[in-house]
Amino acid sequence: MKVILCADVRGVGKAGTVAEVSDGYARNYLLPKGLAQEATAGNLAQAQARRAAAAKREEKMLAEARALAARLSGAPLLVSAKAGERGRIFGAVTNADIAEALQAAHGVALDRHKVELAEPIKTLGDHEVLVRLAPGVTAKVTVRVGAA
């Protein structure tokens, strides 16, 4: 029996794919648990429409992420911190501080885990930081740390 998987099923396939399974497995396990639906012409058309809509959403999201990456890479991001006489910061500028500064400067709400720092910034000046916006889309942001 051909079924369209509604969820990932181990040993059968991933969600959205059409799989050939035995009649008993489909009737007694997959269909009652909602893991699959019968592969009728109407259901196949609906699955194709869902895949097309998901691909369109994904492309739109990637285009927005690329535009945002270009905007973020354009100008340096200013972060102020208390510093001593020799340019050493009291404490450090962390990825959470950079995420807050991005929110304030550009209105971009990012999770702090998307800001990649090898180690916290402890000196004044310009520092290159990688920001992951989407799968395969990153932006190099120049963080300019100034004394407060």
Q: Over the stretch 102-142, which tens digit does the pLDDT of each residue have? A: 999 888 888 999 999 988 898 899 999 999 999 999 999 99
According to DSSP, the residues that pair with 142 across neighbouring strands are 128
Residue 54 class from Cβ within 10 Å (0-12 exposed, 13-18 middle, 19+ buried)? Answer: exposed
Q: How many CB atoms lie within 10 A of CB 44?
A: 15
Q: What is the pLDDT of residue 29?
A: 95
Identify the pLDDT of residue 13. 94
- Phi, psi (5° rounding) for residue 77? -100, 125
* % of the chain beyond a pLDDT of 90: 69
Terminal Cα distance for the chain, rounded: 69
Helix axes 95-106, 41-74, angle to 10 degrees: 90
What mean pLDDT do residues 84-98 have?
A: 87
Q: Which residue has the higher pLDDT, 93 or 85?
A: 93
What is 65-147's CATH number? 3.10.430.100
Q: Whole-angstrom Cα distance, residue 45 to residue 29?
A: 24
CATH topology of domain 2-63: Ribosomal Protein L9; domain 1 (3.40.5)
Reply yes or no on whether the pLDDT at 74 is more than 90. no
64 pLDDT above the threshold of 90: yes
Range list for CATH 3.40.5.10 in the chain: 2-63
Average pLDDT, the chain: 91
- Residue ranges, comma separated, of all CATH 3.10.430.100 domains in the chain are 65-147
